[in-house]
Amino acid sequence: MMSYQRAGVASTFSPTFAAVLAEAERFAAQCGAGLEIVHAASYDADKEKRFHQAIGRKAEIRWVEDETPAQAILGAAKNFGYELLIAGALQSETDDTLFTSGVARGLLRGATCDLLLVPRPQQEPAPLRRLVFTFDPGEGSREFLQRVAHVLQPEHITIAVNKTPFAAAIAASRGEEPPDEDAWLEELIAGFADGKIEVETRVVTSNTGYSLCQAIQGIAADLLVVKAGADGTLPVHMNWLYQVIPCRLLVVR
């Protein structure tokens, strides 16, 4: 979507609370959205006071409960009409590998609105200079790319496509020509670059798609943008995001 009116940020009293909120406020403002704080717990006056002290001002806090924190947050997104949901995502890290938290996995699986996950939030402004896009070929791809780039104004864009032998095998079984990722990418970016944004393409061959994760880490991307399928789920080759997350992740539905 990328044009929002209402956004919610899931917040807890964790060491990264202030940084997650700062990132959420910057991103929501850039997208033109109002931002509310969602806390998965019953109302607590003392906790509300601590929230306001940590934020440095009074703010709208939505207190929500359900069987799990993820379900509570997803319920809030639906009930309050959020078009964008923002949350931290880091459970633990080993070297350069960031492991997606259980709550973040729940949001990835259940969110019906756009979702921004932030694994290493920064309280100080951190411009989104390098973006990586990955989505399956389809109608409206160029318009989607242009819309996101117009809002976020990056300096550099990489469009990464996963190439798998299975796709060619499926096409052959149907008597169709195998997909030509290079030709599609060339057509996609034709006329897109206006000199203000550097655009490159990358085809990654992988049976599982996990090689995309390593490629994105190698690019040192500030944000990975994934376009969900028509049913709202992640593309199959991106299922590794339920376990690891290479950088900030925006899932657009």
- Angstrom distance (rounded) from CA 84 to CA 213: 24
pLDDT per residue over 160-183, tens digit each? 888 877 666 666 677 777 667 888
Least confidently predicted of 34-38, 147-151, 179-183, 240-244: 179-183
For a pLDDT cut of 90, what percent of the chain falls above it? 41
pLDDT per residue over 57-87, tens digit each? 777 789 999 999 999 999 999 999 999 999 9
Amino acid in the structure at residue 177: E
Domain extents in the chain: 6-118, 130-252
Phi and psi of 59, rounded to 5°?
Answer: -150, 155
- Angstrom distance (rounded) from CA 70 to CA 57: 26
Residue 95 has pLDDT above 70, yes or no: no
For a pLDDT cut of 70, what percent of the chain falls above it? 89
- Angstrom distance (rounded) from CA 123 to CA 136: 33
User: Whole-number mean pLDDT of the chain?
Assistant: 86
- Angstrom distance (rounded) from CA 239 to CA 70: 18
Number of Cβ within a 10 Å radius of residue 140: 10
Phi and psi of 245, rounded to 5°?
Answer: -140, 120
Query: To the nearest 5 percent, what fractions of the chain are helix, strand and coil?
Result: 35, 25, 40
What pLDDT sits at residue 98?
75
What pLDDT sits at residue 94?
60
Least confidently predicted of 28-32, 64-68, 82-86, 138-142: 138-142
User: Structure pTM?
Assistant: 0.90
Amino acid in the structure at residue 37: I
Give ∠ CA 89-90-92 in degrees, rounded to 5: 160
Cβ(226)–Cβ(145) under 8 Å?
no
Out of 3.30.9.10, 3.90.320.10, 3.40.50.620, 3.40.190.150, which CATH number does the structure's domain 6-118 have? 3.40.50.620
Mean pLDDT in residue range 6-21: 87
Hey, do 6-118 and 130-252 end up sharing a CATH topology, with the first three levels equal?
Answer: yes
Cβ(90)–Cβ(96) under 8 Å?
no
- Angstrom distance (rounded) from CA 99 to CA 182: 31
Q: How confident is the model at residue 52 (pLDDT cuts 50, 70, 90)?
A: confident
Q: How far is CA 9 from the centre of its chain?
A: 13
* Spatial CB neighbours of 233, under 8 Å, sequence gap ≥ 6: none
- Angstrom distance (rounded) from CA 242 to CA 253: 17
Out of 2.60.120.590, 3.40.50.620, 3.40.50.11030, 3.40.1010.10, which CATH number does the structure's domain 130-252 have? 3.40.50.620
Cβ(229)–Cβ(239) under 8 Å?
no
Residue 7 has pLDDT above 90, yes or no: yes
Mean pLDDT in residue range 41-50: 88
- Angstrom distance (rounded) from CA 52 to CA 140: 43
Cβ(119)–Cβ(213) under 8 Å?
no
Instruction: Say which residue, 13 or 50, is predicted with more confidence.
Output: 50
What pLDDT sits at residue 204?
86
Q: How confident is the model at residue 54 (pLDDT cuts 50, 70, 90)?
A: confident
